[in-house]
Structure 1
């Protein structure tokens, strides 16, 4: 069943780029942004990550945690972070992408007439109580951070 605004955010624990575990429920009391993306260092994913990087100060001012989630491994995340000076945490949700599936962000995709299973570009805002505050299922990679700041009244 699809998640809705107001639903409790499904809890999870995933490794970050350093191999350390991050558990969503340990972040209660803070607003959290999860952005699911297909692959490190690809054009759209780089635009999205760099938009978050360039607006990082605004998220930090409001004590908002930002996590990028893809199925890439820690080594790939570390390289992506280093190459683009990303100040936030990237999490690894390897096959079968259980966390992305919980958030309806992994499924059948179509590209150039080919169908395959993959990560969807979705963004979820979780409020300080651990409930879904906003869901973005149609994401413009180059401006997602700008959209969030505007919609949350933080721009």
Structure 2
């Protein structure tokens, strides 16, 4: 079963998750600025590495446009720390091991994997405005080329 998807205009579900250094990051503390949340299946896998590095390589223009970028996965904080260090990722990676936040954002549930239905993460990105509302909900995105498309969409 897949959780319901979020729509643009809705308030982004609140959360507090540990970052790669075991520090709490609360979405409410980012109000007043724009936020990009990207959910990915697993740190240090080929597709997720491509996507994470694309965000790294686009971070300066995104930050200049007022965006904070956060990556969210089910990985534990130690693996996130290793991923961040290995690939020089200079934004926060958040750990959601029990997939509660994934479920609230509609990115956890049934999906097809090589013709079989499995439970897992649907690679997705959310853009939040300064008031914490979703301006873009992009579900089932591809790892390759997604950040470039997102930058075009945001005109960044």
Q: In the aligned structure 2, how far is the partner of 1:57 from the partner of 1:2?
A: 30
TM-score (norm 1): 0.94
Displacement of 1:111 in angstroms is 1.5
Q: In the aligned structure 2, how far is the partner of 1:17 from the partner of 1:111?
A: 28
TM-score (norm 2): 0.94
Paired residue for 2:150?
A: 148
Q: In the aligned structure 2, how far is the partner of 1:113 from the partner of 1:31?
A: 37
List structure 1 segments (4+ residues) > 4 angstroms apart after TM superposition: none
The unaligned stretches of length 5 or more in structure 1 are: none
Q: In the aligned structure 1, how far is the partner of 2:97 from the partner of 2:140?
A: 23
Question: How many residues of Structure 1 are paired with residues of Structure 2 in the alignment?
Answer: 153
TM alignment of 1:2-151, pairs within 5 A: 2-95=5-98, 97-151=99-153
Q: Give a deviation string over 1:87-140, Cα, whole Å, max 9, x none.
A: 111000012x01010000111122223332111100000000110000111312
Displacement of 1:147 in angstroms is 1.4
